[in-house]
Amino acid sequence: MKTIKQNLFTTLLLSVLALIFSMNAYAEDGAIRFTNKAFKQVISKNADGTVKYDYVDPALVLPEDVILYEITFENVSYQDISNIVIKNPIANNSLYRAGSVTGDSTEITFSVDGKTFAAADALQVKDKSGKTWQAKPEDYTAIRWVYKKSLKPGEKGRVTYKTTIKSP
């Protein structure tokens, strides 16, 4: 009788542990919900002559238009999440606008190849002949944000950047 109770207890304990570990795996896989939005910058003048910047849904995008990209991230799990990394490519038809990247509590780095990331002042470009030089904002192909805090359950964060649509 004692052996049956021990086996039953062991089976129950293993089942509970398996359930707990499967919940953690689920939380890890789907713990963060990302939302990406793009807005077209529209410039107008107020009656007093001051310039006003609005951001609207981009129904029509033309060369030289400025696009604001907004990425929100939300912790949809029941536990704090840390080590959140967001990588976003810059569209091939666009150029990154210098100084436009934002992200509270983030470390922001850039890439010229989509694989290697570094601070803007440490980023190098190498041409086919092997010549290297300091990368310029128009050389960037991707941006990476590393969120430096823990994101609590239900908490949201936001990062943004702007590009200009290239002329043909």
Question: pLDDT category, 138, cuts 50, 70, 90?
Answer: very high
Outline where DSSP puts E strands in 46-155: 51-56, 66-75, 84-89, 94-96, 102-103, 106-111, 124-126, 132-134, 142-147
Question: pLDDT category, 11, cuts 50, 70, 90?
Answer: very low
How far is residue 136's CA from residue 155's CA, in Å, rounded to a whole number? 35
Give the DSSP per-residue string, 113-140: SSS--B-GGG-EEE-TTS-EEE--GGG-
Has residue 87 got a pLDDT over 90?
A: yes
pLDDT in tens, 47-64: 999 999 999 999 999 999
How far is residue 63's CA from residue 16's CA, in Å, rounded to a whole number? 58
Q: What angle do CA 92, 96, 101 make, to 5 degrees?
A: 130
- Overall average pLDDT of the 21-30 stretch: 39
| Both structure tokens of 108 | 């922001």
User: What is the number of residues in the chain?
Assistant: 168
Contact between 76 and 28 under an 8 Å Cβ cutoff? The reply is no
pLDDT in tens, 144-167: 999 999 999 999 999 999 999 999
C-alpha separations of 108 from 2, 65, 80, 142, 156 in Å: 60, 24, 22, 11, 18
How far is residue 96's CA from residue 101's CA, in Å, rounded to a whole number? 9
How far is residue 151's CA from residue 117's CA, in Å, rounded to a whole number? 23
> Has this prediction a pTM greater than 0.85?
no
